[in-house]
């Protein structure tokens, strides 16, 4: 599981290499669960948006859904693919369709 991890890796090639490094060491049939920030809901947000966490300010790399999808190269994406986290398995939503959020996720299987 890589949940909110690659936002601290600003270089796309390094983020891709990190995911490949992890997946190369796992046996076939293993799964990758991935989530990270985007700026699709608030497209005017800066690429390295300033975020607050317990009073500290830090920068993170917000990736587009396409850039997040690239991190799954060589893996078999599970339906519904790369989507906003609030829209994952939407058919199980009990209280209607939730608002979209600026974080996308996906699950994929290593062949």
C-alpha of 51 from chain center = 17
Q: Which fold has domain 2-109?
A: Rossmann fold (3.40.50)
Q: Is pLDDT larger for residue 76 or for residue 96?
A: 76
Q: What is the pLDDT of residue 56?
A: 59
Burial class (CB in 10 A: 0-12, 13-18, 19+), 69: middle
Q: What is the pLDDT of residue 73?
A: 96
Q: What is the pLDDT of residue 3?
A: 94
Q: Which residues contact 4 (CB under 8 A, 6 or more apart)?
A: 35, 36, 37, 103
pLDDT per residue over 21-76, tens digit each?
Answer: 999 999 999 999 999 988 887 766 544 445 555 555 567 888 999 999 999 999 99
Q: What is the pLDDT of residue 47?
A: 43
Q: Could you tell me the pTM of the whole model?
A: 0.80
Q: Taking 80 as the threshold, does the pLDDT of residue 80 lie above it?
A: yes
Domain ranges of the chain: 2-109
Cβ atoms of 65 and 104 closer than 8 Å: yes
- Dihedrals phi, psi of 59, to nearest 5 degrees: -105, 155
Cβ atoms of 110 and 73 closer than 8 Å: no
């Amino acid at each position: 599981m890589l949940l909110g991890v690659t936002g601290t890796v600003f270089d796309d090639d390094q983020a891709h290499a990190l995911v490949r490094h992890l997946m190369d060491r796992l046996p076939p049939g293993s799964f990758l669960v991935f989530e990270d920030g985007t700026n699709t809901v608030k497209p005017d947000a800066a690429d390295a948006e300033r975020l607050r966490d317990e009073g500290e300010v830090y920068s993170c790399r917000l990736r587009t859904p396409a850039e997040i999808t690239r991190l799954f190269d060589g893996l078999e994406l599970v339906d519904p693919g790369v989507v906003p986290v609030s829209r994952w398995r939407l058919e199980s939503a009990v209280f209607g369709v939730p608002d979209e959020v600026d974080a996308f996720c996906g699950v994929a299987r290593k062949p």
